[in-house]
Structure 1
C-alpha cells in the first residue's frame, strides 16, 4: 500500500538521521520511487535532494550524477515548481557534482571544465558570489598540476565575498590549509586550521578532517603532543563514518610513520570494507597509498610474512599487501594523470608510499598488539680477541667491581663474549670468574644455574680463593631457593656465611664478601617466607634475625668500601618491603629512605633504584605524594637504562599517580603514556598496560581532554574486564561516562554509568551505586529518554534515602520535577508536587541537622529548591499553549515569591552563599522587569553591582555583566512607558 505524503515526509526525515552508508542510500532510492508515484512534485524534489545528499556522504558518491541531472532538467523545464529552499539546494549541490566529476578519472577533463563553466554561468544568473566558482576552479587547477592557475584561483577565491553558496567556513579553511601544507608552508596551514581545531567553525565533517590533515605537519614541526591528541580525538570521530575513507588513510599514514604500525594495523582491520572500488576513486587512492606505506614498513621491519587485514576474498601477508596496494594505487594514479595530462597525482602517491618514518616512536596510549620484530641475522663473527685484549677486558670488569660504578655488568658481559672458547688463555682466577658470570646469566634455569655456580666454586678453590668459592656456593644456594628448595637452600647459605665469617676473622675474606653472603642469606630466607612455610612465624623471625645481623655487619664495616654500603642499602630495602607488606608504610618509608641516603652518601645512586621506587610506594601509602614524586623521578633518572620494560612501566605508572595526587596532570599524562608504551613492549598490554591506560585516561579526563580520554578508556576496558578488579572497571566506566557526557553523547554516557552501577550495586558501601544511578538518570534526561530517566532517578532517590543523604535525594526530587514538567498530560502539576516535596524534605533535614557543616549544606539546598521552584513555575507558564496574560502575571508573581524566599535563605548562609544569593537576586530582577516593576529591578541590579565592585573573579564578572543587562532592559522598558 502506498504511503501518504505525510508518512513519506516522516520516513524521509527518519532516513536523514540514519548513519551514512548503503542502507541509508537504498531507503533514499525507494523514497524517490514512491514520491514519483505519488505525483507530488515538491515531495519528489525533497526525496531527490535527499538521495543526492545520501550518495555524497557515502561510498556510492558516483551515483550522484543521474539524480542531479534529473533535478536540473526539472528546474530548466518548470522553475516555478522550486520554492526558495529547493532552488538553494539545487545550486548548492551543483558544487558537489562539479567536484565529484573531478574525482572520477574516467570523466574527461573537457567535461569537468564544461560543468565548471556551466556552474559559473548559473551562479552568475542567480546572482551568487564568485567565491564557490573560484574554489571549484582552484581545485581543478590543483589536481591537474597547473600551479599558476591554482594560485590565481586561490587568490580570487579568498578575495570574493562569502554568500549562501559558499562552503561552510570550516570546510573552506580545511581546503585552504591543505593547499598551504602542500606548498611546504605547514606553520601557515596550522594557523589557518586553528579556528576549526578550536571549535570556532564546525560542521558535520569538521573538525574531523582537519584533525587528520594536521597530523603529519604537527609531527614534522616537533609538536608531537598535539599530533597524538589530534589522532586520539580525530579517529574516534570518523571511525563509524563511511564517507571518511581518505581520512582513515591519513590516520593509518600517521601511525605508520611514528612507530605505531601495530595501531595502524588495528585501524586497517576495522576498515577493510574501504578496499571496495565503489565511491569516488580519489578517496580509494588516498586510502590505498597509506595502506601500501604501512605494508611496506612492516616488510622493511622483517614482518613481510605476517598476516594482515586486506581486501576480502583471501588472506594476505604484509609483503603481498604491500605489492598489491602499491600496484593498485599506481594504476589508479596513472588513470588520473592520463586524464589530467600531468604527473601530479602519481608523484604525490609515490611520495606517500615511499615516505620514511618521521620519529622512531610516538606513544599514543591506546591498546595495540605488540609487533615482535625479528632479530637481524647475526653478522659474521668478529675476529677472536687476542689474549691481551681478553685480559684487558677482565681487568676493566674487576676494576668496576672493586670500586662499583655504572656499567659493571656490561663490562663482565664484554669480557665473557671475548673469553668464551678461549679459557686456556686465562689464569685460574679468570677461568673461575668467567664460569661465575656465565652461571649468573642462566638465572632463568635454576638447576643449570646451581650447577654453574658450584663449578665456579671449584675453580675458585683451585685458584686459591676460598672466599670467592664460598660466595659462589652462596649464589648457588640463592638459586636453589628460587627453585623452591627452601630447606636445602637455607642450610647451604648458613654454612657459607659461617665459613666467610671465619675467613674474615682470619683476614682472608674482605668485608664486602661477608656483607654479600649475609645479603644472600636474607634473600634465601625471604624466598622461604614467600613460599608460605608451615611455621610462618618462625620463618619470619629467622629472616628478621638475619636482617639484623646483616645490617649490624654493614654498619660496622661501612668504611671498608662502597660495596659494603651498597649491600647494607639492599638489606634496608628488604626491611622496607617487609614493612610495606605488613601494612606499615610509615616504617617502610623510613627503611627505604635510609637505603637511599646510604647509596647517595657513597656515590652509588645508580646502584639502588629499587629503594627509590620502594620509597615512592611507601610515601604514596602514607599520603605524601610529593616525596613519592621525587623518589620515583630519581629512580628513573638513575636506573631507567638498567630497568626491564615491565619494571619501567610500573615506575612510570607510580610516578603518574603521584603527580596526579599533586594536581600536576600534564606531567602525569606524559608518564602514563610512557607506562603504557613500556607495558606493551614487555608484552603485558592486557595487565600492566590496562592499568597504565586507566591511569592515562583519568589524567586526560582531569585535564578536560574528554575526547582523548574516551579513546584511551575505550581501549582499556576490555582488558580491565578480563583481568582486573571490579573497582578498576567501575572507575573506567565512570570516567568514560563523564567524558561522553562532556562530548554531548548523553545516551552512551548513561549506558556507561548504568553498567558501572550494575557492578557497584553488589558492594557493601552503596554510595558509588547511588552516584552512578543519579548520573545515569541525568544523562538519560538530557538524551530525551524520559521514562528511563524517571526509573533511574527513583532508584537513585531510594539509595540516597537509605544512605541518609537528604541533600542528595532532594536534588533527585528537583531533577524529577524538571523531568515531569516536560510531560504534557499533568506534567506541570506533578512537577510542582515534587518541588514541594523537595522543600519539605530539605526543611525537615535542616531542622534536624546536628552540626554547622550539615546545616550550611542543607541551607544551600533549601534556598536552591526555592529558586528552582520559582523558575519552574515561570517556565511551565511560558511553555503552556495560549496567551493568557492574567495567568502569566500570576505565575510571575508566584515565581518571584519563591525567588525572594531563596534570596532570604541564601542570606542566612552568609558570605559562603553570596554567589548563589546574587544569582537568585538577579533572577528576581528579571521577573520584576517582566512585571513592569523597573524601579525594583534596577534597585536589585545596582545592589549586586555594589556588592561585587571591581572584583576580578569569573563569578564577579558574570554577575556584573548580568546586572548591567538588567539595568539596560529596565531603562529601556521605562523609556517606552511600560
Structure 2
C-alpha cells in the first residue's frame, strides 16, 4: 500500500525525502523509502536516485534489516564508479562513510562466509587508499571483526586505537564505547567505566549513544558499587531503546539488568512492552543479543519457582515463562552455533553461557517508583494477605467452613483467607458438600460466599453490584432457613444503595436524603427482624450508626451530629451488654470519627486515646491500625504534623500483620504522604503515594489507583525526577485495562498529559511533541469539556514553537482559541500566545515580526475579554505582561523605539514596588522590565545616560525596600553600560 503521493518531479521527490527523514525508523519509513527509490528511477538525472538510495540504505540500517543494506550500497557504488561527477564532496563523504555500515551488516549475517567479510574489508581499504583517505576507519572495522570472531584482539586494537581519528572515523561516542568494551572483555570494570565517562555523562552522543553504552555499563556499575548510578542510567537508557528493532540487543541487556537486581517483575513488564522485537528484528546478531537477555530474565523467574507465570513472547500463542524460555533457548542456541560455525570459534556460545551463568548482583534494587513483585504480575492475583493468615486456614472442609463463619462473626480479618479458599473449593468440578449438621446445607454456604463477595464489591465502591449480591445472598439464606442472616444481608444491601456520589450542592443534598431514607429502612428492618443472634443485632445497630455517620459526612450539618452519637450509644450499650468486643471498639471508633467530622478535634483525641489503651489491653488487635490512623489524621487536623507522622507510621507497622484491605493500608499510605509533604519530606511522600496506588490497584479500586499514580507522577516531576516520572507513567499506561481503553478516557488523558510534560522536561522534544499532538487531536472531540482541550492545544502550540514548527504551532493555537471561546481559559491562552510570539520573533527576527504581532493582538483581545468578564489573573497581570512581551518581540525584530515605548507602558501598568509590598514575583517582574528597558535604551538605542539614570533609580528603590537580590542584574548592566560608554 503506498504511503506517500508519487512525486511528479525532482522537487517533489526531494520534499518527500525530507518528510520521510523526519519519520521514526521503522516499517513506515522503510516502505516509503522503497517507494521513493523506485520513483527516482523515472528521472533522467542520476543525483535524485543517489539521494533516494542513500535514504533507503539508512532506513534498512536503522530498521534492523542488514540483508538489504549491502544490496542498496552495491547500486550506489556502481553509480559512483560509472558517474563519479554526480557525487559532490558531501555525497562522496557519505558514500565512503557507509562502507562501515556494510561491514557491520555483513558481520550480523551468519550465512555470509568469513572469507567474504575479510574480502569486504580489503575492498574498503583499497577504496580508501585509492581515494587518498586515511585508514583509521579500516583498522577500526578490522578490530570489530576480530572482536566478533573471538580472536586475540590485542594487536587489532592497538592498530586501530593508536591511530589518529579522521573525518571518516566513527563518532567519538561510538569509538569510546568500543574502547570501553575492549577493557570490559579484559574484566577491567574500572577502566571501562573511566573510558565510558564522557558518554555516560552526556558529553558525547550520537544516533545510538549513549543508549548503547548505557546498556553495557549497567552491570559494571553494579559490580563497582555504583547502584544508584546504574538505576538512573537504566531509566534513561531503556527509554531511548525500547521497542526499537535496531536496538534490540540493548533492550536485552536491560532485561538482564532487571533479572540480576531482584526486579524480575519489572523485567516481565518490559518484555511485554517489547514483544514486537520477537518478530521485527531481522538482524541475527541483534536477535541473538536480545534473546539471550530474555533468557537470562526467564531463567531467573523460573528459578524462583514461577515458571507458570504468563510471559509475552512470539505472536500467535499464549506463553508461560517456562514455555517461552524453552523456545528462546532453542532459537538462541541455534543462532550462536551458526555464528560460531561461520567464525570457526566458540566465542558466541561462550558469551551466552557467561551471561546465563551470572548470579544476581543484588537481592533488591528499587528501579522505579512502582516497585512490584512477581505476585503482582500473576493473572487475577488475589489480594495480598499476611503470611500468618495462611497458616490459619484449616485443611478439613467442615473445619474450614466452621472456622470461616466463626472468624466472620468476630469481624476477624483472617476470615477473608478462609472464604477465598472456600470459593475455590466450591467452584471446582465435582465439589461434594459435607453432610454435617455443624456445616448446614449447601444453600447456606453459597449464601455466605455471596455475602463475602458483596462485601468485597462494596469495598471497591461497586455499590449497585454489592446491593444485588446482598439481595441474592438474602434469598439463599431464606432457602437455608437462616432468617437472621437473611435480615442482615438485606440490611447491608440498603447501605451501599445510599452511598450515592456527590460532594457539593444539590448532589450532597441528594446523598444526605438517600442516607436518611436508608437509615429509616434499616430501623424498620431491625424492628421487624426475628431470630437475630446478638452479633447480628450488633451489626444492624452498626449499620444504622454508619448510615447516619455517612449522612453527616455528606451534609456537614451540625444538626446531624446528635443522631449519630445517639445511634453510637445504642450500639455501645448493646455490644457492652453482650460482650461483643469488636463492636465495642467499633462503636467508639465511630464516636471519635463523628467528633472529628463535626470539628470537635480535642474530643476526638480524648476518645481515641482511651480507645487505644483499651485495644492494647484487650483487643481486638486488628482495630489498632485504623484507630491509630484516625488519630494521626486528627492530629494532622490539629496541625501537629510530627505527632501525626508518628501515629501513621506506627499504624503502618501494625497493619503489616493483617491483610492490607482489612487494615486500610492504602489509606494509611495516602495520609502519610500528605503529612510528609507538610513536613517537607517530598521523597518520602512520593514513596507512600506509589505504595497507596499499588494497594488500591490490587484491591480493585482501579480509578482511585490511577488518580493516585497521577498525583505521584506530578510530584516526581515537581521534584525534578523526570525519568522516574516517565517510567512510572509508562508502566501505568501499559496496564491492560488502560491499553484496552476500558479506563475513563479523561483520566488516561491526564496521565498522558503528565507524561508529555515529563518528556518535555527531559528535553525529549520529539516524543513530547508527538504525545501533545495526539492528545490535542483526541481532546478536540471533548464537546463537554472544551476548556481542557484549550489547555492541551495551548501546550501543544508552545512545544511546536519551541521546536521551530511555527505553522503547526499557529494551527494548534487556533484550536485553543476556538475552544477558549466556548469555555474561557484567559490566563493560559494569553500566556501561550505571548510565548509563541516571543519564540517566533526570537527565531526569525524582523521576518517573524508580523506573525508575532498578530499573536500578540490575539492575546490583547483575550485580555480585553478577561477585563470585561471581571476576571483577575492569579499570576501576572495580563495587560502588563502583554506590554512587556510587545517590548521583547520588537527588540528581537530590532524595532528598538517601539520596544522601549512598550516597555515603558509595561512599567506604568506594573507600578513601582511599594514599601508594604511583599509580592516578590511583582518586584522581580518590575526589576526585569526595568533591566530590559535600560538594555534597549542604553545599548541598542545608544542612550547610556538616561538608561543609567533609570537603573540607578530602580536600584535605590529596591535597596530601600530590602530587595537586594533583584538589584544584581541591574548593577551588572550598569557596569556594562559604563564600560562601553
TM-score by length of 1: 0.71
Could you report, residue by residue, the CA deviation over 1:109-129 in whole angstroms, capped at 9, with x for unpaired residues? 344344445545655676766
Q: 1:166 to 1:526 in 2, by over 3 A?
A: farther
- 2:296 is equivalent to residue 287 of structure 1: no
Alpha carbons 2:179, 2:195 under 8 Å: kept: yes
Q: Match of 2:92?
A: 87
Alpha carbons 2:279, 2:314 under 8 Å: kept: yes
Q: 1:772 to 1:24 in 2, by over 3 A?
A: closer
Counterpart pick for 2:812 among 789, 798, 809 = 789
For 1:411 and 1:260, the matched residues in 2 are separated by 25
Shift of 1:289: 1.4
For 1:451 and 1:141, the matched residues in 2 are separated by 81
Structure 1 vs Structure 2 CA RMSD: 5.6
SS in 2 for 1:20: coil
Counterpart pick for 1:867 among 879, 884, 909 = 884
Q: Mean alpha-carbon deviation: is it higher for 633-642 or for 173-182?
A: 173-182
Q: Match of 2:208?
A: 205
Could you report, residue by residue, the CA deviation over 1:607-637 in whole angstroms, capped at 9, with x for unpaired residues? 7122222234456677776554433222223
Alpha carbons 2:790, 2:816 under 8 Å: kept: no
Q: Match of 2:37?
A: 32
Could you report, residue by residue, the CA deviation over 1:150-205 in whole angstroms, capped at 9, with x for unpaired residues? 4x655665555444333333334444444555544556555655544554433333
For 1:15 and 1:96, the matched residues in 2 are separated by 20
- 2:921 is equivalent to residue 898 of structure 1: no
For 1:187 and 1:492, the matched residues in 2 are separated by 80
SS in 2 for 1:642: coil
Q: 1:83 to 1:723 in 2, by over 3 A?
A: closer
Q: 1:49 to 1:831 in 2, by over 3 A?
A: closer
- 2:18 is equivalent to residue 18 of structure 1: no
- 2:370 is equivalent to residue 349 of structure 1: no
Q: Match of 2:728?
A: 712
Question: 5+ unaligned residues in a row in structure 2: which ranges?
Answer: 1-5, 423-432, 441-481, 493-524, 553-559
Shift of 1:762: 4.4
Q: Match of 1:883?
A: none
For 1:46 and 1:960, the matched residues in 2 are separated by 55
Could you report, residue by residue, the CA deviation over 1:119-142 in whole angstroms, capped at 9, with x for unpaired residues? 456556767666544543443333
- 2:656 is equivalent to residue 640 of structure 1: yes
Q: 1:810 to 1:6 in 2, by over 3 A?
A: closer
Q: Match of 2:758?
A: 739
- 2:322 is equivalent to residue 319 of structure 1: yes
Q: Match of 1:930?
A: 940
Alpha carbons 2:369, 2:687 under 8 Å: kept: no
Could you report, residue by residue, the CA deviation over 1:627-685 in whole angstroms, capped at 9, with x for unpaired residues? 544332222233324343784444334433443455433223333444455556x4648
Q: Match of 2:569?
A: 545
Shift of 1:688: 5.8
Q: 1:925 to 1:773 in 2, by over 3 A?
A: same
Q: Mean alpha-carbon deviation: is it higher for 49-58 or for 604-613?
A: 604-613
Counterpart pick for 1:749 among 753, 766, 772 = 772
Counterpart pick for 2:589 among 559, 564, 573 = 573
Counterpart pick for 1:656 among 667, 673, 676 = 673
- 2:682 is equivalent to residue 665 of structure 1: yes
Q: Match of 2:173?
A: 170
For 1:770 and 1:373, the matched residues in 2 are separated by 40
Bigger radius of gyration among the two: 1
Q: 1:274 to 1:601 in 2, by over 3 A?
A: same
For 1:809 and 1:8, the matched residues in 2 are separated by 39
Across the two proteins, how many residue pairs are aligned to each other? 850
Could you report, residue by residue, the CA deviation over 1:406-430 in whole angstroms, capped at 9, with x for unpaired residues? x99789959x89xx99x9xxxxxxx
Shift of 1:57: 0.3
Could you report, residue by residue, the CA deviation over 1:735-754 in whole angstroms, capped at 9, with x for unpaired residues? 23422443422342254367
Alpha carbons 1:481, 1:527 under 8 Å: kept: no
Q: 1:616 to 1:22 in 2, by over 3 A?
A: same
For 1:273 and 1:848, the matched residues in 2 are separated by 53
Q: Mean alpha-carbon deviation: is it higher for 200-209 or for 927-936?
A: 927-936
- 2:330 is equivalent to residue 330 of structure 1: no
For 2:292 and 2:963, the matched residues in 1 are separated by 54
The equivalences for 1:510-909 within 5 A come to 525-530=541-546, 540=564, 543-546=567-570, 549=573, 572-578=588-594, 591-592=607-608, 595-596=611-612, 608-618=624-634, 627-644=643-660, 647-660=664-677, 662-676=679-693, 678=695, 682=698, 684=700, 686=702, 689-716=705-732, 719=737, 731-742=750-761, 743-744=764-765, 745-752=768-775, 762=784, 771=791, 774-779=794-799, 781-782=801-802, 784=806, 785-795=808-818, 797-798=820-821, 810-811=830-831, 814=834, 828=849, 832=853, 835=856, 861-875=878-892, 878=893, 891-903=895-907, 905-906=909-910, 908-909=912-913
Question: 5+ unaligned residues in a row in structure 1: which ranges?
Answer: 376-406, 424-431, 455-475, 497-516, 558-562, 879-887
For 2:869 and 2:311, the matched residues in 1 are separated by 68
SS in 1 for 2:655: helix
Q: Match of 1:473?
A: none
TM-score by length of 2: 0.71
Could you report, residue by residue, the CA deviation over 1:382-407 in whole angstroms, capped at 9, with x for unpaired residues? xxxxxxxxxxxxxxxxxxxxxxxxx9
For 2:603 and 2:750, the matched residues in 1 are separated by 30
